[in-house]
A and B are shown apart, each in its own frame.
Chain A
Amino acid sequence: MCTVCGCSGATVGGEDHQHGHGHGHDHGHGHDHTHDHDHGHDHPHGHGGHSHSHDHGDHGHGDHHHAAPGLLDYGAGPARAHAPGLTQTRMIEIERGILSKNDGYAAANRARFGRDGVFAVNLLSSPGAGKTTLLVATLTALAGRWPVAVIEGDQQTSNDAERIRATGAPAVQINTGKGCHLDAHMVGHALESLPALDGGVLFVENVGNLVCPAAFDLGEAKRVVLLSLTEGEDKPLKYPDIFATADLVLVTKADLAPHLDVDRAAIDRALARVNPAATVLDVSARSGDGMAAWLGWLEAERRAALTALAAQAEARASALRSAVSG
């Protein structure tokens, strides 16, 4: 991992990413986004989805985030259980999430998506669950209906981006090298290589992995986790972290059901244990079954997201107008 900018030595678009060019990613960590996520915690029952980055530990400490790291002398402040002794040591209060750097980049990505009206979807699954196949079928079905782009994450090769580009959609491949997940900083870089996507949909296909990507907010609006029918009914129980963060779970390769001894209801039970709020849809990119429901979900969520953005913009315009007339 690069200790200058924090990126994991990833390459974007197959070329080595250069660290020396001052790409202005010091966007101040956008700490106010932690408040957004507090909301998600307080009302996990209120809406079908739940926010994503709240797993990162920033919540509940919002009051501390705005202060510069405080300097606490022994005996003067909350030195807690630490005995100061006679050494020249002092306490530095930090109170920030370990992944706050990633969360800052994610907030910047989210702000950018909000500004451009982009509906961003983070697609996660184990390797081979069918993320790329689903995307190819999705892009083909959308057939230019909205501006779309894809960010592909893999440890090596640009095979997936090439499959996406074959549909006519712009795609950027991020090779994470040793990395096991995409982070928000990589996604921010990848966005620079994509055309403007105003009002469109960005699909981010994460590195195939049911563990690590769960903790890394990319700035997406929704998380979609794929579980292929061949993977076993208890995957959500074995890898709860990733399924717990899903807004939508797609049970893929549904066309294989007649050939498998899969207890489909057991998958629902396992998902309900881990994430009672997630929507679950069965889909087969191969046969096309379930594609309409998946596309319908996309359309409805995109509409809701853009409608919310429009309402915010109108409220802002109204506030500005009354400031002018007042």
Chain B
Amino acid sequence: MHEMALCESLLLAMEESGRANAFTRVRRVRLEIGRFAGVEIEALRFGFDVVTRGSLAEGAELVIQEVPGRGWCFTCNETVSLDHRLASCPSCGGDRIQPSGGTEMTIKDLEVE
């Protein structure tokens, strides 16, 4: 969707952290991206390379951990795991499900020098 904007936010966060923690180079970034976050991983990787060019994170390795989806089934009244946003409930087969997890977009940590 707006992977470039996400990458710009990511770069800002890394630059802030660089000032706070006195590092000038990021070797590796680890992100958690939920299955339902609406993020196209390949577009994110492309955007990361473009946005970090000339920055402290140029050439850094981007490690992305996918977080599985979860949803609240209105029929079962419980949280169930979902493969995709429009998946039916694995317990009852119903469709009345509100995604309730797997929307994460989190920066976990940085490997820096």
Contact = CB atoms under 8 A, between A and B. Distances in A.
A275 B8 contact: no
Contact of B20 (A68, A272, A273): A68
A198 interface: no
A68 B19 CA distance: 13
Interface in B65-110: 72, 74, 77, 85-86, 95-101, 103-110
A313 B77 CA distance: 34
B99 to A, nearest CB: 6
Given A211-B1, A272-B95, A276-B97, A87 B106 contact: no
B77 A56 contact: no
Interface stretch (A12-20, A96-104, A188-196, A217-225): A96-104
A101 B8 CA distance: 11
B106 A96 contact: yes
Contacts of B2: 180-181, 211-212, 215
Interface string A197-227: 0000000000000011011000000000000
A99 B95 contact: no
Interface in B1-30: 1-2, 5-6, 8-13, 15, 17, 20-21, 23, 27-28
A100 B109 contact: no
Contact of B105 (A45, A95, A97, A244): A97
Contacts of A69: 17, 20-21
B97 to A, nearest CB: 7
A240 B27 CA distance: 35
Interface string A76-102: 000000100001111111111111111
A57 interface: yes
A292 interface: no
A260 interface: no
Interface stretch (A1-9, A115-123, A161-169): A1-9
A89 B105 contact: no
B113 interface: yes
Contacts of A211: 1-2, 38
B53 to A, nearest CB: 13
B110 A57 contact: no
Contacts of A71: 21
Dominant secondary structure at the B interface: mixed
Contacts of B105: 56-57, 97-99, 215
A274 B109 contact: no
A40 B112 CA distance: 35
B34 A57 contact: yes
Given A8-B5, A57-B103, A244-B99, A91 B111 contact: yes
B4 to A, nearest CB: 8
A44 interface: yes
A6 to B, nearest CB: 6
A264 interface: no
A16 B97 CA distance: 44
A89 B21 CA distance: 13
Contact of A89 (B27, B77, B108): B27
A8 B74 CA distance: 39
B49 interface: no
Given A57-B104, A93-B108, A211-B38, 11 more contacts: A3-B11, A57-B103, A58-B106, A91-B110, A92-B21, A92-B109, A94-B13, A97-B106, A180-B2, A212-B5, A215-B37
13 contacts: A1-B5, A3-B12, A44-B100, A61-B106, A91-B110, A96-B106, A96-B107, A211-B38, A215-B1, A215-B2, A215-B105, A272-B95, A276-B98
Nearest first, the 9 A-B pairs at minimum CB distance are: A57-B104, A57-B105, A212-B2, A55-B103, A241-B38, A98-B105, A92-B110, A276-B96, A57-B106
Interface of B: 1-2, 5-6, 8-13, 15, 17, 20-21, 23, 27-28, 31-32, 34, 36-38, 72, 74, 77, 85-86, 95-101, 103-113
